[in-house]
Amino acid sequence: MTTTAAAPVLGPSAPAGTPLPPPPAPAPPPPPPTDSPAPPVPKRMSTNRLILRCPDLPDAPTLAASIRANREALARFMPWARIPPPDTMDEEVARQAARLPAVAERFADARDFQWLIFLRRRRRGLHSQEQHEEQHEEQQQQAQGENGERDEDVNEEEEGPFVGCVGLHRVPRLADGGADRGWHIGYWIDAEHQRHGYAPEAVRAVADAAFGRTPSERPADLISRTGERLEFLSRVEIWCAQDNEPSAAVARKVGFRLLGVEPFGYEDIDKEIAKMDFRFMLDRN
């Protein structure tokens, strides 16, 4: 059966030949999902056994040596480690030195946060409580800048051997074009320091900082250099491949709960596509 469209009906007061009103404009598309606010996390944190610190240019040789020694294991789950390595250690150091300024810039702009993990060592030479108090008072005076902010480099501890890396990453672009999934924590530990519980300790420190459970040198209502408001997070995730059982064990040990097994891919900060299966989530409360 053939159907025809009904003729338009004009209002009773419209004279013959009056043109029809233009069709209504289509509704504008919904705005793209906004990125989750960035948390005011510190550049340096200490735990019972570890120091977490934003990397700097002098860290390039240490980072290059560890990546070179662990590349085969890292490449199983981290796309950036699958990039063909340089032929020599000097070239590896140069590669890391070239990328570290961008890492520090993204941290300062609250776009991505990465910390190097070191074993924490107490500074020696404090022979009495009185000497300890005198040194602490002197450090406090030296640490006051023009704005009254404490210099992060003044403390009573020193960095030991390099342990690994941990990061808090916002990934608004998924490989399937989906919406922003907020912030997630990633980590890797040098093979020489595995099975000592350092990964859960570092992940817990990052989660606590993101939730505002630990003191930060920046208030929660600070506006970042890019004009973004910084707010503590209410939830954070850990993503890992289904066969990456050590990483999943870290998430469970810290208290993350499994949201589900859902294969997906995302584009990381270096434009590499990572494929994941497990999604773990931790709430602030």
So what's the pLDDT on residue 145? 36
Q: What Cα–Cα distance (Å) separates residue 246 from each residue in 197, 225, 259? A: 11, 37, 17
End-to-end Cα separation, the chain, in angstroms: 63
Which amino acid, one-letter code, is at 58? P
Query: Can you tell me the distance from the alpha carbon of 266 to that of 173, in angstroms, rounded to the nearest whole number?
Result: 6
Helix (H, G, I), strand (E, B) or coil at 257: strand
Query: Can you tell me the distance from the alpha carbon of 210 to that of 238, in angstroms, rounded to the nearest whole number?
Result: 13
Query: Can you tell me the distance from the alpha carbon of 173 to that of 156, in angstroms, rounded to the nearest whole number?
Result: 41
So what's the pLDDT on residue 89? 96
- How many other CB atoms sit within 10 Å of the CB of residue 213? 13
β-partners of residue 61 are none
So what's the pLDDT on residue 5? 42
Angle, helix 245-254 to helix 198-211, in steps of 10 degrees: 50
Interior angle at CA 170, CA 165 and CA 176, nearest 5: 115
170-228: pLDDT as tens digits: 865 554 555 555 788 999 999 999 999 999 999 999 999 999 887 665 655 566 666 66
So what's the pLDDT on residue 83? 87
Q: What Cα–Cα distance (Å) separates residue 42 from each residue in 99, 131, 223? A: 21, 29, 14
β-partners of residue 38 are 230
Assess contact for 54 and 115: CB atoms under 8 A: yes
Which amino acid, one-letter code, is at 67? I
Helix (H, G, I), strand (E, B) or coil at 100: helix
Tokens (6 digits) for 55? 């990397």
So what's the pLDDT on residue 50? 97
Sheet with 50-53, strands from edge to edge, namely: 44-46, 50-53, 112-122, 157-170, 183-189, 235-240, 273-283, 257-267
Instruction: Going from the first residue of the chain to its last (285 residues), give the mean pLDDT of each consecutive group of 10, the final group possibly shorter.
Output: 40 49 55 61 94 96 96 89 92 96 91 95 59 50 37 66 94 52 88 96 95 70 66 86 90 91 65 69 81
So what's the pLDDT on residue 24? 59
Torsion of CA 241, 243, 246, 248, to 10 degrees: 50
So what's the pLDDT on residue 1? 45
Residue 81, φ and ψ in degrees, nearest 5 = -80, -10
Tokens (6 digits) for 108? 């300062």
Could you tell me how many helices (H) and strands (E) the chain has, helices first? 5, 8
